[in-house]
């Protein structure tokens, strides 16, 4: 219960940080207990991925490869190094709780 509250608070703060990026080019990444919403552009279409579908992930520079049970999903984005680091850390934190292996950094 406490872990869910802490995770929810972290996700809320992360979302506020990403949405207030002054450059306007920050990707939208929403990490929840159920999955992750990925949008590379503000007005582009997004992709919802459930954690239960993810078997592993690979982190690259400004790209995350999600290995799903059905098909791989490649999420490329443009951002500052700090935003990229924050995105990967938020995903890594939740993946660790879900026992999803991640390679790369």
pLDDT per residue over 49-77, tens digit each?
Answer: 999 999 999 999 999 999 998 999 999 98
In this prediction, residue 9 carries a pLDDT of 63
* β strands within 1-105, DSSP E: 28-31, 35-39, 47-50, 54-60, 63-68, 72-76, 102-104
User: How many domains does the structure of the chain reveal?
Assistant: 1
CATH assignment at residue 35: 2.30.29.30
| Contact criterion met (CB below 8 Å) for 58 and 65 | yes
> Which residues does the chain have with pLDDT short of 70?
1-3, 5, 8-26, 42-44
In this prediction, residue 7 carries a pLDDT of 74
Task: For residue 29, give its domain range.
Answer: 2-104
Query: CA-CA distance, 66 to 89, in Å (whole number)?
Result: 15
Query: CA-CA distance, 81 to 15, in Å (whole number)?
Result: 17
């Amino acid at each position: 219960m406490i872990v869910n509250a802490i995770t929810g608070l972290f996700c809320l703060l992360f979302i506020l940080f990403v949405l207030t990026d002054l450059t306007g080019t920050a990707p939208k990444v929403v990490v929840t207990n159920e999955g992750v919403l990925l949008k590379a552009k503000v007005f582009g279409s997004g992709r919802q991925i459930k954690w239960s579908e993810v078997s592993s992930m690979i982190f690259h520079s400004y790209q995350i490869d999600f290995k799903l049970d059905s098909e791989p999903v490649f999420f490329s984005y443009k951002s500052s190094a700090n935003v990229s680091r924050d995105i990967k850390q938020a995903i890594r934190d939740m993946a660790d709780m879900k026992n999803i292996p991640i390679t790369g950094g």
